[in-house]
Amino acid sequence: MNKKNIPFLMILILFLLFLAFTGCGIFSTAATSKSLIEKGLDVEIQIQEGMSLTDIAGLLEEKGIVDSGLFFKVYAEEKGFEKKMMPGTYNLRTGSEYSEVLKAITTGPAVITFKLAIPEGFMVSQITERIQSELPFIKNTDLEIAISPANYSYDFLNDNNLKVESLEGFLFPKTYEVLAEYNAKNVIEMFLSQYQLETSNLDYGFAFENNLTAYDILKIASMIEKEAYIPEERTLISSVIHNRLKINMALGIDATLIYFLDKWDSPLTESDLNTDTPYNTRMYAGLLPTPIYNPGIESIKAALNPEETDYLYYVVTDPVNHKHSFSKTLEEHNENINSTTTVK
């Protein structure tokens, strides 16, 4: 060996040793840093659309979810999942097994849903109150806007080409699964699409034969929903309503006036009964401007298929079971009222 080359080789050896020691120091620091991350901690990560496997593996290592991004990447490629990572927000644990992490981020983020139960006979105001209490991610200001029929283009919201002014009656009662990313309009749309689904195959032949629209049927169904406590009486109450409509006789259903006055906690007074409004079905014959509740499918079916009777009256004669007695004449009706008073 040429002696002139010895100093150069010494410098090269010293340089390589320096790099080796420096590299060890870097890896040692990184290892120490990772070892400080406690295992089993919940960590939230966001996998963005378009992130590569290398990016994802690096993020998992950075958050301490896996011990090595490089090894995780190799593992994912070996399993054939390198192109199956799904964007979304994930809650993972530090120090996890590669298999657990891979399964989570290829299955997709957990879907967060909220149960929203809408009972039959709820009014729009009650439904919006329930939405506000059960769905914290829905803004009240957005809900006030979303409840306007003008936001939707369903055919059933046009009554003989006249746009309805309220969604009362159309918010179909059911227990719904609401996704956390829904906005107010999505929720209302869910009720409306369910109404369309439930009613689209019903036979409206009877209604059209009697010059009644689908919206008229909904108004009748909303009254049946309130008046019928016993399911078997729905079609009987429906027959009374239809029979009175045919002879242009006032329906005399106080629930319509209670709805208008929003008076639920005390009986109607004489002054209340003299309120001049189309919702006063003692004062005005015919149907009211809108439904008064959101009826269930059985009340809608009863409105479309009334029992064939000559009944014009009904009154509760069994207050415990809310059972009605039906009659054809006012004389029979008064007898039923008196018999109920006697029982009391």
Query: What was the pLDDT predicted at 343?
Result: 39
Confidence at residue 301, expressed as pLDDT on a 0 to 100 scale = 98
Residues near 179 by Cβ (< 8 Å), separated by ≥ 6?
111, 112, 113, 186
Q: Classify the C-alpha dihedral 218-222-225-227 as positive or negative.
A: negative
* E strands, 32-170, in order: 42-47, 88-93, 113-117, 158-159, 162-163
Nearest-5° Cα angle at 101, 96 to 104: 135
Q: How many CB atoms lie within 10 A of CB 248?
A: 8
Q: What is each CA distance from 79 to 75, 102, 172, 230, in whole angstroms?
A: 6, 9, 47, 61
pTM above 0.85, yes or no: no
pLDDT score recorded for residue 107: 86
As assigned by CATH, the class of the 112-200 domain is alpha beta
CATH number corresponding to 37-110: 3.30.1490.480
Q: How far apart are CA 97 and CA 113, in angstroms?
A: 28
**pLDDT of 10:** 58
pLDDT at 6: 54
Where in the sequence of the chain do the CATH 3.30.1490.480 domains occur? 37-110
Long-range contacts of residues 242-250, Cβ cutoff 8 Å, at least 24 apart: 242/210, 242/306, 243/309, 243/310, 243/311, 243/312, 244/285, 244/312, 245/210, 245/286, 245/287, 246/210, 248/285, 248/286, 249/285, 249/312, 250/281, 250/282, 250/283, 250/284, 250/285
The neighbour count for residue 156, using CB atoms within 10 Å, is 18
From start to end of the chain, where are the E strands? 42-47, 88-93, 113-117, 158-159, 162-163, 175-179, 313-318, 323-327
Which pLDDT tens digits describe the chain residue by residue (344 residues)?
555 555 555 555 655 554 454 444 434 444 444 555 788 899 999 999 889 999 999 999 999 999 999 999 999 998 888 888 888 888 899 999 999 999 998 888 877 789 999 999 999 999 999 999 999 999 999 999 999 999 999 999 987 777 788 999 999 999 999 998 899 999 999 999 999 999 999 999 999 999 999 999 999 999 999 999 999 999 999 999 999 999 999 999 999 999 999 988 888 999 999 999 999 999 999 999 999 999 999 999 999 999 999 999 999 988 888 899 999 999 999 998 888 654 33
Distance CA 21, CA 8 (A): 20
pLDDT of residue 323: 92
pLDDT tens track for 300-330:
999 999 999 999 999 998 888 889 999 999 9
